[in-house]
Amino acid sequence: MIPILDLSTAQKTVLRRAPLNLWDFPPSVVEKTRALFGEGVTPPQAVARILASIREEGDAALRRWSALLDRTVPKEFRLSRDAMRKAWEMLPTDLASALRLAAQRIRAFHERQPLPSWEHRDENGVLGQRLVPIERVGVYVPGGSAPLPSSLLMSVIPAQVAGVETIVVCTPPEPHPTILAAAYLCEVEHFYQVGGAQAIGAMAFGTESVPKVDKIVGAGNLWVTLAKQQVFGVVGLDGLAGPTETMIIADGSANPDWVAADLLAQAEHDPLASAILLTPDSALAARVQEQIAHQIERLSRAEIISQSLASRSGIVLTPDLETAADLANEYAPEHLCLSVADPEALLPRLRHSGGIFIGEHSFEVLGDYVAGPSHVMPTGGSARFNSPLNALDFVKVVSLIGLTPQAGEILSRPAAVIAQAETLTAHAAAAEKRFSG
């Protein structure tokens, strides 16, 4: 059952963020790590071992870890376009239509995003910035308890819009047909059945089968997140994804049936998922709690939902909507949903979230699949400084400096002065040669 909490209690529990490096690993993860890697080995140490072996041994290490961790070794890591095509042709008609619609809306949304290069020319020459597509990008698509073809669409399509030349997709062995079908829909050429930390290592370092990439995007489980953390610097990252989270701000006008359904939809992802309702209306809080108890009985992932609701979620009673907005800014949720009578009035007060869902008809599940923006969003409070995955994640800025000889000589003098102040005499000498002669 989801608890109803007063503000003081909530700030000490469900609204309190723990730093990423202080996470307590779930007992199941600790036990699995011990069984696979030996007594005393922590999950980060196990991941470091996986990554080191892939860097040194390539495909041989991939096969060994696939056998141990995925309990299967594919004959070939790379899957053909023909396998993707067959999966697409086997899809039910309604699912194929839904995926096609989602792909069209995701592409249209990101094609509207400006990617402006610019140049300024005057009598001193030219200065500017060129936005250049990243050459090779790796996309990780989870393949655990729930197949997520939507995650492939949400990551691959923005990269294509940005002009990425090579897109490498990795997902655990024996991928679900819907993931293969989504890859076919997106015309993916490089698709590999490699999962977990070993997939991140393969894309970061390259192996005989899997090409090395320049940046890795996409969420995954704890092992994937730890691996991404450890390869940062070798490759770029979109961010480190923690457990998913939704925060709903609601007033007495909200439909308790819908609010409960939206909280349950988030909680079914993971026992560590967070589903939080902020409301000043105690009657709504009670009705939502009742609806959750009623609706959960009919859901296939009720056990996962129950764990999430009991440990990471809650209904928080706030003095007013303004306080709720302030709490949302501090928490910086991945998804922030406004189930209030006048959401536009509250919108200017909100600064920190991955996405804002304005009104009860713009609910988060639409963002997960068909609204248009990518559902790969910042978690763990990182929405205070990070953004949802978008086309800008797949380009880099190159500065342009093209000064005339006259401007170069004039600017060399102050450059030499600054270099001398920094005791970098070679810098100063290089500048002085431009005006001493």
Active-site residue list: 334-335
Specify the amino acid at residue 271: P
Cα separation, 325 vs 319, whole angstroms: 11
> Per-residue DSSP letters for 173-228?
SS--HHHHHHHHHTT--EEEE--HHHHHHHHHH--SSSPP-SEEE----HHHHHHH
DSSP letter for 394, please: G
Asked whether 354 and 335 are in contact (CB, 8 A), the reply is yes
- For the chain, how long is the longest CA-to-CA vector? 86
Crossing angle for the helix pair 222-231 and 196-205, to the nearest 10 degrees = 20
**Antiparallel, parallel or unpaired: β 78-79 and 190-193:** antiparallel
Specify the amino acid at residue 377: M
> How many CB atoms are located within 10 Å of the residue 383 CB?
25
Walk across the sheet containing 166-171 and list its strands: 78-79, 190-193, 166-171, 136-140, 215-217, 236-237
> How many CB atoms are located within 10 Å of the residue 295 CB?
16
Phi, psi of 274 (to 5 degrees): -115, 130
DSSP letter for 163, please: T
Asked whether 308 and 358 are in contact (CB, 8 A), the reply is no
Cα separation, 329 vs 325, whole angstroms: 6
Cα separation, 99 vs 315, whole angstroms: 34
